[in-house]
Structure formats: structure tokens, C-alpha cells
Structure 1
């Protein structure tokens, strides 16, 4: 899971940086970097998991929790904004809900992989 955390962390960092750079000069906000902050934490947790076998389980459980938070936050913020945009609200810039929903999708994929890995590890431990 440490390698998967590295991959998804890198994807989230790229998403956040692209979102920040695509925002107009007057619209640049630190909130556009939220996916990048989550990705950076995933990279740190991946490094901890790779460095210490004893900390691997704990680091990956924290990473899964971060994936859950990213999923809920991405979908929870992006879907209502997208609905408002599709309803004709001109104050919503389409880029924001697209980035938020993309973050939600990436985090959901990561979370599913974490849960599958945890189940496989438990089964392997019980079989041994």
C-alpha cells in the first residue's frame, strides 16, 4: 500500500497544482491547493510506511482515513456546486466542482484499494 499511497499522493499533488495554476491571477486561492495538501500527507505517510515496518500498519490506516476525508470532502463540496452550476447559477465556476469531484474520485479509488488491502492482510494473517 505504500507504493499505492505514493501514486495517489502524486496524482493529488498534480491535481492541486494544476487547479491552482489554472485559476486566474485574481482568483488564485490557497483552497485550490487542498488536493495537493492531501497528496503531500499521503506521500509523507508512504515514506513512513516504507521506512519502518512497525509503523507501516498505522501509517496506512491514517492514509485510509485521509482517503475517506478526501472522498467525503471532494464529493460533499463538488456535487452541490455542480448541481447549482447545472441549475444556472452563474456565480459557480465549473473548474471548482470538477477539481473537487476529481479529488473525491481519486480518494475513493484509494480508499477502496486500502480496504481491499486490509482485508487481504487480515485473511493472510488468519491463514498463517
Structure 2
């Protein structure tokens, strides 16, 4: 699962950088996906260990980071869209797309983590 985590970390950093550059480097909040990617990357690297306890600890930390990122991205995308519509404005398409992409990526990541946890538990019982 550590390799999958590192792939998602790189994708989130790329999403953050693309969003930041896409806004003309004016909005620092466009880098939020990158910070989630950095956190996942650090914990993903730390989970590469021969120690089973350490792998488990960082796998659970990573799925928690993923869940927080998914919930935050989804809530902010919906909030931003509804807020703009309530004011009669057109929602910022780059921000909306970035938030939805982050939420979608992290939802897939969390699902993959849960499936990995279930498989690991089944393998231990067998």
C-alpha cells in the first residue's frame, strides 16, 4: 500500500501545483491538495518498514489523512458552489474542479486502503 500512497501523493502535489499556476499564482489556497500530498508522501515513506507495527501505524495515519482530505474537499466544493450561486455569481471553475478532483482522488485512495485492510485481516485469519 506504500507505493499506492506515494503515487497518490505525487498526483495530489501535481494537482496543487497545476491549480496554483492555473490561478496565476495568486491564490495560495490552491496549494492545499499539494499539502495533503506532502503529508501522504511523508507518511507513505515512513510506512516502508520491515516492522509490521510501524507499517500498520502509518497506514492508518494515511487513511485518516485521506478521509479528512476527502471530506474537506467535498464540503468545500459544495459550499463554494452554493455560496457563489446564492450570490448570483458564477462559481470559480478552477477552484471547483480542483476541490472535486482532490475529493475524488482521496475517495478512491480511502476505498483502496479499506480494501487493503480487509485483505490483510483476511490473510491473517487464514
Asked whether the two chains share a fold, i.e. TM above 0.5, the reply is: yes
For 1:52 and 1:100, the matched residues in 2 are separated by 35
CA separation of 1:32 and 1:86: change in aligned 2, threshold 3 A? same
Aligned to 1:21: 21
Give the ranges of 4+ consecutive aligned residues of structure 1 lying more than 3 Å apart after TM superposition: 83-89
The yes-or-no answer on 1:31 pairing with 2:25 is no
Aligned-pair distance for 1:93? Answer: 1.4
List alignment gaps of at least 5 residues for structure 1: none
Deviation at 1:90, TM superposition (A): 2.1
Gaps of at least 5 residues in structure 2 are none
1:90-109 paired onto structure 2 within 5 Å? 90=89, 92-109=91-108
> Post-superposition shift, 1:31?
1.0
Between the two proteins, the alignment pairs up a number of residues equal to: 125
CA distance in 2, matches of 1:17, 1:53: 34
Map Cα deviations across residues 36-67 of structure 1 (whole Å, 9 max, x no partner). Answer: 00001111111101145341110010000011
Which residue among 41, 44, 47 is the counterpart of 1:43?
A: 41
Whole-Å Cα distance in 1 between the matches of residues 23 and 119 of structure 2? 42
Report the RMSD for the aligned CA atoms in angstroms.
Answer: 1.7
Q: Distance in 2 between matches of 1:23 and 1:67?
A: 25
Give me the whole-angstrom Cα distance separating, in 2, the residues matched to 1:39 and 1:19. 14
**Which whole-Å CA distance do the structure 2 matches of 1:80 and 1:125 have between them?**
42
Kindly state the Cα deviation for residue 86 of structure 1 after the two structures are TM-superposed. 5.8
Task: Report the Cα distance in structure 2 between the residues aligned to 1:85 and 1:64, rounded to whole angstroms.
Answer: 31
Asked if residue 75 in structure 1 is aligned to residue 77 in structure 2, the reply is no
